Structure 1
Amino acid sequence: MNTIMKRRSIKAGLPPGSLIYTGEKKSETIQIKLFNYTVDRFEEKVIDLNDVSLLHTEKSNVHWINVEGIHDVNTIEKLGRCFGIHSLVLEDILNTGQRPKIENYEGYTYIVVRMLFYDNELGEFTTEQESFILGENYVISFSERKIETYNTVREGIRQGVGRIRKMGADYLIYNLLDAIVDNYFVVLEELSEKIEDTEDELVSNPSKSTLQVIHKLKRQMLYLHKSVWPLREVVNSLARSETPLVKDSVDIYIRDLYDHVIQVMDTTETLRDILSSMLDMYLSSVSNKMNEIMKVLTIISTVFIPLSFIVGLYGMNLTNMPEYNWPWMYPVVWIIMISIATLMLIFFKKKKWW
C-alpha cells in the first residue's frame, strides 16, 4: 500500500493532463499489434514504435490496436495524437491505479477495467489496469504487459469463427470485456478451492497459521470486491449509452455480459460471507479446544483433591495417630487412594463428563 501511494505521489503538484507513468514496468519493450479485418479478409502485423503516427483506419475495416506495455510515455503520447485522444484520457491510461469507469468523448468512448491474475505459487491474485478506446471502427486496448486472456478473441479473428468478423468495433469491445469477465470466474474458482481447503483445516485442526490464511483471503476478497463492483456500472452504462458507437444489435450481448458481471458479484459476496463465518468458526473452534483442555485438567484436579487430603492428613507426623503403628497401613492407604480415584473416574464416565 505504501508503494502505491509513493508512486501516486509522483504526480503531486503537476497540472492536469501531465503524462507520467505511475505503474510498475512489467515488460521490457512495448509491442503494438494491429488486427485489421473485414468479413472476407484479415491482416495481423506488429507496428514499429517509430511508425505509430502513421496509423490510420479505413472506414470499411475494423481495427484492433493492441498495445502491450504502457511504460513508454512518448509512445502513448504519439498514439494519442494519432487518434485525437484527450490528454486527460492519456493521463488516466498511464495512471494504473484507476477505478473501473466509462467516459464518453466526442468520437470515442474511454473504458477502464481491472484484469485479474491468480498466482498459484503465492496463493494470491494480482490486478492490472486494462484501458480501452472505442471508436467508430476501431478499438485500442492498453495492457501493462503481454497477456493471454485475449487469445480466444485473437483466434476468433484469425479463424473467422463466430460473428466477430461480421460485426463492428462495438462487438469487438464486447468480446474483450467478456474475456476479462470470464477470467474473473477462473480466479474465483481458484479462490473458492483455497477457501474450501482452509475450511477443512479449520474443522480438523485449527492453528495460528489457519487464522493468517483467513485474514489473507479476506484481504484478497476485499480487493476483488473493489475491482468487480464498479464493473457493473461500466457495463450497465455501456448497455444504456445513447452513443452511436454501440449499435442496437450489440445491446443484447452487452446485457448478457451484465448478467455475467452480476454472477461474479454474487459469487464474490458469497465467498466473503463464508470467510466471515470462517473467522467466527475459528474463534469457536479455539474456544472449544480450550474448553476440552480445561475439562481434562479439571477432572485431574478433582480426582486428586481427596487423594491430596489423605496424603496431607497422614503427612502431619503426629505421634498420637494409631495408624502409624499398624503393619499394613501403607498398602491400605494405597488401596484406598486407588479405589477413590477409580470410582471417581467411573462416575465421570457414566455422567459423560469425560
Structure 2
Amino acid sequence: MDVKADSTYPTGLIHAIQLDGQGGLIPCDEGINKIWQEREKTVWLHFDYSVATTVDWITEHSGLNEIAIDGLTSENSRPHILKRKNNVVANFRAINLNPESDPEDMVSLRIWTDGTRILSTRRRPLISTKEVLESLERGEGPQTVPELLINWLDAITAKQESSLSRLEDHALELEEADFTSSNNDYREQVSQLRKVCIKLRRHLSPQKETLNQLATSNLEWLNELDSLKIKALLDRQLRCLENIEMLREHSILMMDELNAIDAETLNRRTYVFTIIAGLFLPLGFFTGLLGINVGGMPGTENPFAFWMVTALCVLFGAGSVGWALAKRWL
C-alpha cells in the first residue's frame, strides 16, 4: 500500500499503516505527525532515505536522537544493532532480487522500533517488504511489531536460502560438466561463482552477529517465544553462511581441476613436440653432414645418390618411429 503521490505526506514516505491486531492493517489517513506521537498506536512508517524530505521529517518530527537518526539515514549499511532501554536501531542486509540486479549487490534495511512503533528506511525496493505488506493487506500478516519484525527477517532469510539454492544448482551443473570441452566458458563461470560467494560471505557475515545480539538483547517487548524465533533465524543464517563457504570451496576445487586439465594438455603437447624433435634430430645431423661444402663427398658423381640418401632417411625415420612405439613413447 504505497502512499499516493498527491498526498500531503513527505515525498520520501513509501507507506504509513497501523496494525489492527488481527493480522490486517489500517491505512493512516490522518497526518503521520499526529499518529506517530500517539505512542500507544502500533504504527509502521516506511521511508526512502535517499529523498531529502525523509531526513527532514525524521530529524524534525520523529523525536529520535542523533544516533538513531544517523543509523536510519546514513550510507553505512554494515549490519549492526544499537540498543538503548527498549529502543533498538538495527541495520540488516538482504540479497538483491530486483530485476536486472546482481544477487551480491545487497539491499540495506534500517529499522528503529520501541516495540510499539516501527520506523524503517531503505534506498532500493526490497521484495521481502512487499511480501509482508501483502500479507497484512490479506489480513494474514503480523499482529504486533515484534511479530512484524520477525516475519520481515524471516522473509529476508528465506530469500537468501532461495538464492543460495539456485547457486548450489548452478555449482552442481558445473561439477558435472565436461571441463575438457573447449566449447564452454567454464573457467569464467567458475571464477564468477567464486566471486559471488566471496561477496556474499563478506556482506552477510556481520548479520549473524546482529541477529545474535537481537536475540539476547533482553528487550521487554520481546518475549521468550520471540527470542526463540530470532535464534531460529540465526541458525538459518549460519547455515546460509556455511553453504556459501561450501560453494566457495567447491569453486576452488573446480578451478584447480581446470588448471590441472590445462596443465595436462600443455604437458601432452610439449611431450609430442619433444618426441618429434628427438626423431628428427639424427636426420638433421645426417643431412647437415651431407651438406658440408668440402671436397671428397661420396656419391657426387652418382646420379642415384640423392635417391639413395632419401631412402636411407625414410628408413631411418620409420625405424625411429618404430623404436619409439616399441618403447611406448608414442
Which TM-score applies when normalising by structure 1?
A: 0.77
| Structure 1 letter corresponding to 2:227 | D
CA shift at 1:198, angstroms? 6.2
Rate the CA distance shift 1:151–1:341 in 2: closer, same or farther, 3 A. Answer: farther
Rate the CA distance shift 1:346–1:118 in 2: closer, same or farther, 3 A. Answer: farther
- 1:232-251 deviation line (CA, Å, top 9, x unaligned): 11111122221112111222
CA shift at 1:291, angstroms? 1.4
SS for the counterpart of 2:77 is: coil
SS for the counterpart of 1:254 is: helix
1:30 aligns with 2:12: yes
Tell me if the contact between 1:100 and 1:112 (Cα under 8 Å) persists in the aligned partners: yes
- Name the residue aligned to 1:342: 318
| Structure 1 letter corresponding to 2:12 | I
Rate the CA distance shift 1:349–1:66 in 2: closer, same or farther, 3 A. Answer: farther
Tell me if the contact between 1:77 and 1:90 (Cα under 8 Å) persists in the aligned partners: no
Any residues of structure 2 matched to 1:1-354 within 5 Å, and which? 30-40=12-22, 42-43=24-25, 45=27, 51-56=31-36, 62-67=42-47, 69-79=48-58, 81-117=60-96, 125-161=104-140, 164-165=141-142, 167-192=143-168, 195=171, 203-204=179-180, 216-354=192-330
CA shift at 1:173, angstroms? 0.5
CA shift at 1:97, angstroms? 2.5
CA shift at 1:293, angstroms? 2.4
Tell me if the contact between 1:31 and 1:46 (Cα under 8 Å) persists in the aligned partners: no
CA–CA distance in structure 2, aligned partners of residues 273 and 74 of structure 1: 46
Rate the CA distance shift 1:348–1:246 in 2: closer, same or farther, 3 A. Answer: farther
- Name the residue aligned to 1:3: none
Farther off after superposition, 256-265 or 129-138? 129-138
SS for the counterpart of 1:324 is: coil
CA–CA distance in structure 2, aligned partners of residues 253 and 303 of structure 1: 75
Rate the CA distance shift 1:72–1:229 in 2: closer, same or farther, 3 A. Answer: same
Tell me if the contact between 1:101 and 1:112 (Cα under 8 Å) persists in the aligned partners: yes
CA shift at 1:174, angstroms? 0.8
Q: State the aligned residue count.
A: 319
CA shift at 1:116, angstroms? 1.8
* Structure 2: runs of 5 or more not aligned: 1-10
Tell me if the contact between 2:25 and 2:136 (Cα under 8 Å) persists in the aligned partners: no
- Name the residue aligned to 2:5: none
Which TM-score applies when normalising by structure 2?
A: 0.82
* Structure 1: runs of 5 or more not aligned: 1-28
CA shift at 1:126, angstroms? 0.7
SS for the counterpart of 1:255 is: helix
Rate the CA distance shift 1:278–1:46 in 2: closer, same or farther, 3 A. Answer: farther
CA shift at 1:144, angstroms? 0.8
CA–CA distance in structure 1, aligned partners of residues 44 and 92 of structure 2: 17
| Structure 1 letter corresponding to 2:44 | W
CA–CA distance in structure 2, aligned partners of residues 194 and 301 of structure 1: 44
| Structure 1 letter corresponding to 2:66 | S
CA–CA distance in structure 2, aligned partners of residues 213 and 120 of structure 1: 21
| Structure 2 letter corresponding to 1:78 | W
- 1:63-89 deviation line (CA, Å, top 9, x unaligned): 33222x211344234235544322112
| Structure 1 letter corresponding to 2:116 | N
SS for the counterpart of 2:218 is: coil
SS for the counterpart of 2:78 is: coil
SS for the counterpart of 1:129 is: strand
Rate the CA distance shift 1:85–1:101 in 2: closer, same or farther, 3 A. Answer: same
Tell me if the contact between 1:53 and 1:81 (Cα under 8 Å) persists in the aligned partners: no
CA shift at 1:340, angstroms? 2.7
CA–CA distance in structure 2, aligned partners of residues 60 and 125 of structure 1: 39
CA–CA distance in structure 1, aligned partners of residues 271 and 325 of structure 2: 13
CA–CA distance in structure 1, aligned partners of residues 46 and 155 of structure 2: 14
CA shift at 1:111, angstroms? 1.0
CA–CA distance in structure 2, aligned partners of residues 42 and 118 of structure 1: 26
Rate the CA distance shift 1:211–1:112 in 2: closer, same or farther, 3 A. Answer: same
- 1:120-149 deviation line (CA, Å, top 9, x unaligned): 867663112211122222332211123323
Tell me if the contact between 2:73 and 2:121 (Cα under 8 Å) persists in the aligned partners: no
SS for the counterpart of 1:150 is: helix
The two structures, once aligned, show a CA RMSD in angstroms of 3.2
